[in-house]
Chain A
C-alpha cells in the first residue's frame, strides 16, 4: 500500500515572523554601521558609568562592609537629614553656588561683550588668555590662592592690606560669622569668583559673533545707546547660552572640592565643608561607602532639580 504523496511545504511570504525578519534586515542595512560605531562608546558607558552608578545607588541603601554589606533601607538618607555636619555642608554649598554662579555668569557675559568689538587678533589673544585658567591645574590655582589668602603677614592679600595700614585678616583661617556665613567660606568664594570663568567667556564670545549686526544697526537708527543695546538685544539673544552656562556653572559649583581640600581642608571646624568634600571624607576617610553614596545621590537629586528649574526659567525659542 503506497502512501499518498505529501503536500508540498510552502512558506507564506507574509507571516509575522518573516515580516519582522525583513524589517530587522532593512533596519540593520540602513543603520547597522552607525550602531557599530557607537557600540564601543556605549559599552564603555554601560560598564564604567552606568553599572557603577547603579551599584552605588544600591549601596546607598546598605551599611558597607568589606566582605558583605547590610541592607538598611532608608537609614543612610534619614541619618543625613538628622546630621548637623551635613546641614552645614549643604548650607555652605548653597551659599558658595549661588554666589559664584551669579558672578561667573555676569563676568563671563560682560568680558565677552567687552572683547567682542576688538580687532580679531586682540580678540583671539584675550580669548586665549581668559581660557588659561581652564587648562591650568585646579590644584595649582587653589595653592596660589591659599598663598594669596594666607592669614600670615606674608600672605599676598595681607601684604597689600598692610601697605594701606589695614589687616592682617585671617581669611581662610577665620571661622567667625560674616554676611550670613563665615569669613573662611567667603574667602574661598572670593578666590573662586576672582578666577576668570574661562568657559563662559569663550561660549559667550562665540554666541555674540552669531548675533546679526543689522539688529544693532536698527537699534542705533532708533537712537539706542550702548547700554540699551546690551540690555534689549545682547542679553535676550544670549539667553540660550546663558541657560547653558548657568547650568554647567551650577553643576561645577555644587561639585566644588579641590579648592576646599587644598585651601582649608574643610576647616576651620566645619566652616568650609561642602557636600562633595563631605562625600570624599565619608567615603575615603571613613570607608563608609553606603553613607557616601547616599550623600552623592542626594546631591544628584538637588542638582537635577535645580537644572530642571533653570531650564524652565531660562528656556526660550530665540532664533536669529
Chain B
C-alpha cells in the first residue's frame, strides 16, 4: 500500500494542550536545530556554548516530588543546589513526572510537541524509540576525551543507536539474587558462594520452602527483565547479535523457563507468581515469606530501612558457564532544541549528573553502580559491591525501537508457561510469532 507522510501528529498536539507539564511558550524543537552528530571530541565550541549560557534549564525527573519529599527527591534537590552554586546564572527547574507508563506518555507528548524538558532521566531501552524519531541531541559532540576514557566501553555502547550515543550513561542496576539470611539460618542452610550453580539454586529454593515460606519469588510482568536472568544464565538471548532474529526459544531459553515452571509446580514459588507486582515481591521478602528474590540494587535502601539481613549474590551459573546477569541502564538524555547554547548547557548538566563530581557533592547520589571507572559506589554503600562486581557480566536488552512491544510479548508467555498452561517451548515459540514480524522476519 502506498503510504503518504502526514504533517504533525494531531492527537498528541491535542494532548499537549491538555497536559499541564507542557510549558507554553517554549520554542518548538526542530530536527536540525541542535548540535550535529559526530565522534567524540575534545573541549570545543560546544563546551564554550555551555559555559556562556545563562538562563533556565528544565529537568524532568521520573518520580520526583517537590520539596525533597522522598529520598530520591532530596538527592535531586541537593544536586541542583550544588550545580547552580558552581554555575551562577543557570536556573534549574525540576519537574516530577509519575514513574509509570502514563508519566512516560507525558514525556513523549512533551517531546513530540517540542515543549518538553531540556534534560530528563530515562532508561536506556527507550532511547532507540527517541533516536528513531530524531528528538534527541546525541552526546557525541560533547563527549570529551576524559569522558570516553572514563566511561566503561561496553556501557557507552549501551547508549549507542545507529552510530550516535544518545544519552549520558549514569548507572547500571544489574539483576541480582537477594537471600534472606534469617530464613537460611532458621532452615539451617548455608548461604552459597557467589559461584553457585542453577542446580544448587533449584535445590535451595525447594529446601527453603516450608510453612508460609516460598523458596523463590520473582516479578515476571512487563517493563522488567528480572525473570529473564534465569534464561540468560543458561545462554539464551532475546534476539541475536544484530537484533534481526528472535532467539529466546532456543534450547537454552526453554531450559531456563522450564526450570522456573518446575519450581512453581513444586510449590517453591508463591501461587500468585504470575500476577505478583514488583513491590509485592520486595514486601514478601521483607515479611520473611520469600527466602530468595531477584532484584536490582535499588532494593538495598528499602531492605536496610526495614532492618532485613540479606546477602546479595550474582545469578546462579547455568549452561552459559559463567556468571551472567541482565540489566538496563539509567541515562540522562537531552532533547533537540533551537538554542544551541541551551542544549550545550543541558549536556553539561548531563555530564555532571553522571560523573564522580556529583557523587562528591551529593553523597548517596548513586543508587546503582556508576558507568565510569572514577565512580566507586561501594565506598559509601558497601552492599553495592556485589552489583559492581557483576558489571562486566551484564547483558543489556536489545536496543531496538520496538523493544516495548517485544518486552510485552515475552512476559505473558512466560506467565503461561510457569502456570503450566503451555509448555516452555510452546510459550517461547508463541512469543516469537508475535515478535518476529516486528523484526521484519
Listed in ascending order, the chain A residues whose CB lies under 8 Å from chain B are 47-48, 51-52, 55-56, 58-59, 62-73, 75, 85, 150-153, 168, 170, 172-176, 184, 263-270, 280-281, 283-289, 293
Contact = CB atoms under 8 A, between A and B. Distances in A.
Contacts of B10: 55, 58-59
A151 B217 CA distance: 14
21 contacts: A52-B11, A55-B14, A59-B10, A62-B6, A66-B130, A67-B9, A69-B8, A70-B3, A70-B5, A75-B1, A85-B434, A151-B272, A173-B271, A173-B272, A173-B275, A184-B275, A266-B412, A267-B221, A268-B275, A289-B11, A293-B11
B371 interface: no
B131 to A, nearest CB: 11
Contacts of B425: none
B4 interface: yes
Given A69-B6, A269-B274, A284-B101, 7 more contacts: A52-B18, A151-B272, A168-B271, A176-B420, A265-B275, A267-B415, A286-B405
A71 B6 contact: yes
Contacts of A286: 404-405, 408
Contact of B5 (A68, A280, A289): A68
Nearest to B273: A173
A264 B275 contact: yes
Residue among B222, B270, B272, B416 with most chain A CB within 10 A: B272
Interface in B21-74: 31
Ranked nearest first, the 10 interchain pairs of A and B with the lowest CB-CB distance are A268-B274, A55-B10, A66-B133, A151-B271, A269-B416, A151-B272, A71-B4, A268-B415, A284-B101, A52-B14
A254 B15 CA distance: 24
A170 B421 CA distance: 14
Given A268-B419, A269-B421, A66 B412 contact: no
Nearest to A169: B271
Nearest to A176: B421
B129 interface: yes
B413 interface: yes
Interface string B423-441: 0000000000010000000
A158 B18 CA distance: 44
Nearest to B101: A284
A95 B420 CA distance: 24
Nearest to B4: A71
Contacts of B102: 284
Size band of the interface chain B makes with A: 35 or more
Contacts of B85: none
Interface stretch (B103-111, B199-207, B293-301, B358-366): B103-111
A8 to B, nearest CB: 57
A175 B108 contact: no
Contacts of B413: 269
B288 interface: no
Contacts of B3: 63, 70-72
Contacts of B270: 151-152
Contacts of A64: 9, 12
Contacts, number: 145
Contacts of B155: none
A66 B108 contact: yes
A68 B275 contact: no
Given A173-B419, A269-B413, A70 B4 contact: yes
Most interface-central of B7, B14, B274 (chain A CB within 10 A): B274
B412 A268 contact: yes
A50 B111 CA distance: 24
A175 B419 contact: yes
Nearest to B413: A269
Interface in B191-247: 212, 221-223
B275 A48 contact: no
Nearest to A47: B17
A63 B401 CA distance: 14
B108 A174 contact: no
A66 B6 contact: no
A66 B12 CA distance: 8
B14 A269 contact: no
Contacts of A283: 105
Contacts of A287: 105, 108, 129, 404
B277 interface: yes
B11 A285 contact: no
Contacts of B384: none
B421 A71 contact: no
A284 B415 contact: no
Given A67-B112, A75-B1, A267 B421 contact: no
Nearest to A288: B405
Contacts of A288: 405
Contact of A176 (B4, B17, B134, B419): B419
Interface in B264-302: 270-277
B346 interface: no
A186 to B, nearest CB: 15
Given A267-B412, A287-B108, A68 B272 contact: no
B415 A175 contact: yes
B139 interface: no
Nearest to A268: B274
B18 A48 contact: yes
A67 B30 CA distance: 9
A140 B264 CA distance: 30
Nearest to A182: B421
